[in-house]
Chain A
């Protein structure tokens, strides 16, 4: 209900803005409007200390998961951790873990203009993985891997947007494609590593998380 109001609201403000070509402002409005409801929802959610700690641990694991892969360039399972956690804990928690992972890893590595974009991207990956957790996409191995592959590219493209929108401020397909092509190999590595991790580990990780959730009766 609230999100519907927000979408209408965006359209009302958004279309005039496109005409004037204030892309930056428009993208900020859209991002904030689609982001804030979930942020607020978590703030109001009733949650026990143990559940809160579990979210924090998963966020921290997603952030720390880069460490053992330092020797393999552009392979890091952060996205994998977020997807798997979202499948077990649902969209809202998936969103929260994604956002937390982004903030925490940036607090350690240094904030940049990319921080909000990363928060948004990983938050949304968690959200959508959670929304689809009961559909065939997340149930089947093929579906999961496809999701991981697509999301790997989308993440990279979305992260390119901060330069295109924030710095270059020239939005046309040519620019966007040019930028996305420069980062093609990084995005491919991300997408393929997502597939690799999901293929080999999603089953075990989901089992571990499920077992833990049930053992202590969390998120019921």
Chain B
């Protein structure tokens, strides 16, 4: 049984991810972004004890460091010179911007990794099929063929290796050529076989009329409520961005990094908005504990 954040209706999930990615791109403030990063990491811990995050962490960190170092090179505007590197001034503003860009990147990538955990391919395809049925069918077919083609490719590789077409020996040119020869067999072979797939679809009445769609997911009250709440939050966040409360002004003058006044309100909303998965997961844990106590 799937529980918690994963069990939310795919539509609501999808909308949430659109909201959160947009928000992360709009809000450029180290304080906000750092909070977001912490929350997203915690979501990872709740979802799968950070297993997936661990697999990607090096790419994440390397890309962020890379961006962080690169930013001061193309950004020379600012009022505070920190030091000179090869006769080029390195600005405080540029460094702050580098931090923000690196944080944004990390947040977005980390959020996408949760997306891959939560939005499994069947949920993703459910949404696609709902809006674009034919595209959904095409992608599902393609997804089904990928493992089949891989297996065939492996067979082809072994048969051809005995014949002397090897991927392991030879120059790069020769290996690339051999690889392509294998793909060529795979193409001819699979096209020929695909006729039967098409026929089996036709035999079961595909294409005669508009298809119906099996709905494995149901919109519950919880899903509606959640959708409503996140939309309200997102609206407020957009408004905050319009007011430039979630954006750290670097020019013409550097704004103090510490939050002040109205910004605290938006910070609270931001915190709750990014923390929605934590809330959903936590609620499940509490419910479960309560249930066990009652037993």
Is chain B's interface secondary structure helix, strand, loop, or mixed overall? helix
Closest to A52 in B: B138
Q: Measured between C-beta atoms, what is the minimum distance from B69 to chain A in Å?
A: 11
> What distance in Å separates the Cβ of B164 from its nearest Cβ neighbour in chain A?
16
Instruction: Report whether B70 and A178 are in contact in the complex, using a CB–CB cutoff of 8 Å.
Output: yes
Q: Given A72-B175, A100-B138, A54–B199 Cβ distance below 8 Å?
A: no
Task: Report the Cα distance A75→B187, complex, angstroms.
Answer: 19
Contact call B143/A69, Cβ cutoff below 8 A: no
A113 close to B135 (CB less than 8 A)? no
Check A49 against B132 for contact (C-beta < 8 Å): no
| A205 in the interface (beta carbon within 8 A) | yes
Q: Is A32 an interface residue (CB 8 A)?
A: no
CA of A113 to CA of B111 in the docked complex: distance in angstroms?
A: 10
Interface size, chain A (Cβ < 8 Å):
62
The answer to whether A142 has its CB under 8 Å from any CB of chain B is no
Q: Residue of A at shortest CB range from B190? A: A57
Please determine whether A68 and B109 come into contact, CB atoms closer than 8 angstroms. Answer: no
Q: Is A90 in contact with chain B by the CB < 8 A criterion?
A: no
- Contact indicator per residue, chain B 180-211, by CB within 8 Å of chain A (1) or not (0): 10111011101110110111011000110000
**A54 and B183 within 8 A (CB):** no
- Whether the pair B73, A178 counts as a contact (CB closer than 8 A) is yes
B68 to chain A, nearest CB (A): 11
Contacting residues of chain B (134-149) with chain A, CB-CB under 8 angstroms: 134-135, 137-139, 141-143, 145-146, 149
The residue that B149 contacts in the complex, of A45, A61, A72, with Cβ under 8 A, is A61
Return chain A residues, CB-CB under 8 Å to B112.
110-113
| B contact residues around A167 at 8 Å (CB) | 25, 67, 101, 104-105, 108
**A54 CA to B192 CA in the complex, in Å?**
10
- Decide: A56 and B157 in contact? CB cutoff 8 A: no
A204 touches B (CB below 8 Å): yes
Q: Which of B71, B105, B149, B179 has the largest count of A CB atoms less than 10 A from its CB?
A: B179
* Segment at the A interface, from B83-91, B113-121, B228-236, B262-270: B113-121
The A168-220 residues at the B interface (CB cut-off 8 A) are: 168-170, 172, 174-175, 178, 182, 193, 196-197, 200-201, 204-205, 208-209, 212, 216
In contact, B138 and A59 (Cβ under 8 angstroms): yes
B124 at the interface (CB under 8 A from A): yes
B214-235: which have CB < 8 Å to A? Answer: none
Tally of contacts, chain A with chain B, CB under 8 A: 175
Counting CB contacts under 8 A, is A151 at the interface?
Answer: no
Query: B73 to A39, Cβ gap below 8 A?
Result: no
Cα–Cα, bound, A8→B108 (Å): 33
| Residue of B105, B113, B146, B153 with most partner-chain A CB within 10 A | B146
A209 / chain B contacts, CB cutoff of 8 Å: 187, 191
Q: Which residue of A lies closest to B149 (CB)?
A: A64
Is B80 in contact with chain A by the CB < 8 A criterion? no
Instruction: Check: A50 CB closer than 8 A to any chain B CB.
Output: yes
Which of the residues A53, A77, A111 comes within 8 Å of B141, measured between beta carbons? Answer: A53
Q: Is B290 an interface residue (CB 8 A)?
A: no
- CA gap between A59 and B141 in the complex, in Å: 10
A186 to B43, CA, bound (A): 34
- Can you name 21 A-B pairs with beta carbons within 8 Å? A43-B135, A48-B198, A48-B207, A53-B197, A55-B138, A57-B190, A60-B142, A61-B187, A68-B157, A68-B167, A72-B175, A75-B176, A96-B138, A107-B124, A108-B146, A111-B112, A111-B115, A163-B105, A167-B25, A169-B28, A208-B191
Closest 9 CB pairs of A and B: A50-B198, A56-B141, A68-B179, A60-B145, A49-B201, A49-B198, A53-B198, A56-B142, A59-B142
